[in-house]
Amino acid sequence: MSKKSKKAKAPELTPDELRHAYRVAVRNRSMDERIVRLLSQGRVKFAIYGPGQEMHATATALAWHKATGGKDFGFCGHYRSGTLVSMWSELTGREDFVKDVLRQQLSKATDPFSGGRQMVNHLIDIPRGILPIQSPLGMNLGKAAGWAQAQKLMGMSNGFVAATIGDGSTAEGDLHDTMNAISVWSLPMLVMVTDNEVAISTKPSEGRGIKNLDKYAKAFDLEFFEADGNDFFACYETAYRAARYCIENQRGAMWHVHGLSRLNGHSSAGNYRFNLEQTDPLGVFGPELVKRGVLEQSDIVTRVPGEGADYFAHHDLGRIMGEEDAIVGRWMQEVEAEADPDPNGIYEWTRPAFPQVDDPADLSSRPRTNVTYAGALRSAHKHILESRPSGVWGQDVGHLGGVMQATAGLKDLFPDRVIDAPINEPLIVGTAVGAGMHPDFTALPEIQFGDYSLNAYHWLVHMGNLYWSSLGQAKPSVILRMPSDPFGGGAMYHSMSLDGFFSAIPGLVICMPSTSYDAYGLMLSAADYGGPVVMLEPKYCYRRTNGPAFPQEPDPSDKAAVKALKDHIRRGGIPEIGEGVRVPLGKGIVRHEGGDLTVVGWGRGALYGLEVAEKLAGEGIGIDMIDLRTIVPPDMDLVFESVQKTGRLLVVADDRPFAGFHREIQAQVVEAFPGVPTKAVGMKNVPAVSQNEMIEEHTVLTPERLEEAARALLAGAVKSTGAAGWNWMPSRYITG
């Protein structure tokens, strides 16, 4: 495809627009320097700001607004993007943005971005396309690329997305991840590198390996733009041309904004006195507007002789900045008097409410399903892709259908929305987080083997805290799937159990279905839920037909129909499953009832637990076998109810009990029922699983080890219910 010209001419700015840009710039400068003053007085503990970036920021926002009309837009900045977002906010109708930033700076309950939970300039305004800014550098790039991917998959043919990083962040792997995504997926995204030639204190010679950003961009077939960051008019023209290039070609670009000054240091953690030796872009733009007849000399800020480190001691503010400074000063007094956050509200916005779902009353009496676990997942994907804007991406999920065949057949049905991604797990997960923040989009990423998700752990943490830290404004609708647990000689990097790693991440919902019915039903409930869900899928289960039948399956007596269904699935077909099947999130299920011992399991542990329960039932031993289905949050009410009855607890799962999620279940039970006899069984505490299948069998969870532990509890422990008595109260564990 031939590229359209990158030399689009920007519309000429009117005098009113130029005056508006100057006013927004000096208002943000006034706020930043007043915060610096509070720092010097000890009234603010930490601040991070952007003096020196006001002119390129206002110019860029004006240009992008003219290029897009304010529509089909996304921007994910960093913590020096406040002035850019301030200008964009005013252009799109949001007033008093600076007052809201002051509320965040002073950690007030009225902070509309985070309610006092985030540092200053961690901004968000999803309706205006402003994606949440995070502290870890570079992650905004992946979110922006995901937002662009979702726009593309939703059919927005004029979309434009941008993200900003500082020059120091070009060393982050996130940049390479995102450049791959923009290039391979042909995303209309602009990567803007704001360059002040220092990263906190690290010089380019010490921290910047990319010596030529132009050549770097061209290596990914991205167009390259550059401009002097202190030249308002050059930045305006370049920002407009870059945006129009991305929109008209639906391709990516990189923009190097160089020559920027850093006038107050990196943050309050360093030397934050105003640097009088560097070029101040306000001191360039103001006189230029006077020269053009847009402003009077008395309107603009000018430098004057002064003493000390305070910005205001060295500047005559002029009429416009004087007016804005008075407004900022008044706002600051008002904000200081506003309420602090209520400590009793810390649990609010932990996660969205779960959909109201109940298991069918006849579930336990149904015949066994003939739909494999992988077949059920195919059908769940098909239903989600048919019913809502969504997309599937991961390694080999398209043409191959996934290494576990969980996405087989989908590429033929949805050729543009089932996407084989680069071999890059942070790219896969990071873009899913950005895509899933679109209010109407559900991202369905797959990690080929769960073991390789660990280099995306940062993304899981961020995905888990977004809803809480944004007061529910950022709700990434992401269902991240991955095979888990040892099976079949996979060795150490194809055999990991991940529940212990992931269950400690607050805000995530983590499921590990053991049956085909639960795999399908939990996927659909996760899509309805709309928050971040991790599906850990035991490799042991993919080809198996565990659990109850679906409503529309053929009657077991119809042998021909059953065989046809099995053959269809075995050949990679997608079974038809009724729309109404849902499994409740956060709710376990009793697979086998008994009064002698409670066994709690998930994944393969639940299947082995049921096997042992049925065997011991033949000896008159009654086991309550609970399949958690959702690991986080666990259904502790169900567990407590069972332990109240049996007085003993055995927890079983493939992961190591040592420091694993087994111990969380045990701990909560022991706190509720002091002295309860309990054991945990899982993988032995060795570094990894061996490829030799005999050694694997001696390392991992087996029915024999589970049965041995159950018999030991039954033989060696006295039930602790009775005389001493337990007074169990319902769990306060947050369930949505």
Taking domain 363-570, whether its CATH number is 3.40.50.970 is answered by yes
HSE at residue 437, side-chain half, CA atoms within 13 A, is 35
CATH number of 589-716: 3.40.50.920
In this chain, the answer to whether the domains covering 363-570 and 589-716 adopt an identical fold is yes
Please tell me the predicted confidence (pLDDT) of residue 731: 42
Q: How far apart are CA 516 and CA 565, in angstroms?
A: 14
Per-residue burial over 600-622, b = 16 or more CB atoms within 10 Å of its CB, e = otherwise: bbbbbbbbbbbebbeebeeeebe
Cβ-contact 482, 536 below 8 angstroms: yes
CA-nearest of 429, 423, 431, 490 to 459 is 429
Nearest to 169 by CA among 193, 135, 196, 133: 193
How many Å apart are CA 553 and CA 550, to the nearest integer? 6
Q: Return the domain boundaries, the chain.
A: 18-337, 363-570, 589-716
For 134, the 3-state DSSP assignment is coil
Identity (one letter) of the amino acid at 110? T
* CA 137/CA 166 separation, integer angstroms: 9
Spatial neighbors of 479 by CB under 8 A, at least 6 apart, are 384, 442, 443, 444, 445, 523, 526, 527, 533, 535
Question: For position 735, what pLDDT does the model report?
Answer: 31
Q: What is the pTM of this model?
A: 0.94
The CATH number, out of the four listed (3.40.50.970, 3.30.365.10, 2.70.98.10, 3.30.70.590), of the domain defined by the range 18-337? 3.40.50.970
Looking at the annotation, which residues are catalytic?
494
Q: Mean pLDDT per segment of 10 residues, for the chain of length 736 residues? A: 72 98 97 89 83 94 97 94 96 94 96 95 96 94 98 96 94 96 98 88 87 97 97 98 97 96 77 84 96 98 90 95 97 97 96 96 95 98 97 97 97 98 97 96 97 96 97 98 91 91 96 98 98 97 96 94 96 92 98 97 97 97 98 98 97 95 97 96 92 91 96 75 43 35
Residue type, 659: A
Q: Cα–Cα distance between 612 and 706 in angstroms, integer?
A: 8
Asked if 716 and 622 count as a contact pair (C-beta separation under 8 A), the reply is: no
Which segments of 431-486 are extended strands (E)? Answer: 442-446, 479-484
Picking from 285, 196, 188, the residue whose alpha carbon sits closest to that of residue 243 is 188
Preceding amide of 305 cis, omega within 30: no
What gap in Å lies between CA 281 and CA 284, rounded to an integer? 5
Which pair of structure tokens corresponds to residue 515? 């049956």
**Cβ(224)–Cβ(193) under 8 Å?**
no
